[in-house]
Amino acid sequence: MSEERYTVGKLGELFGLSRTALLYYDSIGLLAPTCRTAAGYRLYSAEARKRLEQIVVLRSLGVPLERMPAYLDRQGEGKIPVLLRRLFAINGEITRLREQQLAILDLIERDGSLAGIKPRMHLLEDFGAAVGVTKQNWRELHCLFESASPGLHRRFLKFLGFTPKETQALLDRVKKA
For the segment 47-78, what is each residue's pLDDT rounded down to a tens digit?
999 999 999 999 999 999 998 998 888 876 77
Per-residue DSSP letter, 2: P
pTM (global) more than 0.75: no
**Sheet holding 42-44: strands in order across?**
6-7, 42-44, 35-36
The segment(s) of the chain belonging to CATH 1.10.1660.10 are 6-73
For the chain, what is the mean pLDDT?
84
Which residue type is seen at 21? A
Distance CA 10, CA 8 (A): 6
Higher-pLDDT residue of 46 and 157 is 46
Distance, first Cα to last Cα, the chain = 55
3-state class (DSSP) for residue 36: strand
CB 44 within 8 A of CB 11: yes
pLDDT for 39: 93
Q: Which CATH number fits domain 6-73: 1.10.1750.10, 3.30.1490.70, 1.10.260.40, 1.10.1660.10?
A: 1.10.1660.10
What's the pLDDT band for 104 if we cut at 50, 70, 90? confident
Residue 21 has pLDDT above 70, yes or no: yes
What's the pLDDT band for 111 if we cut at 50, 70, 90? confident
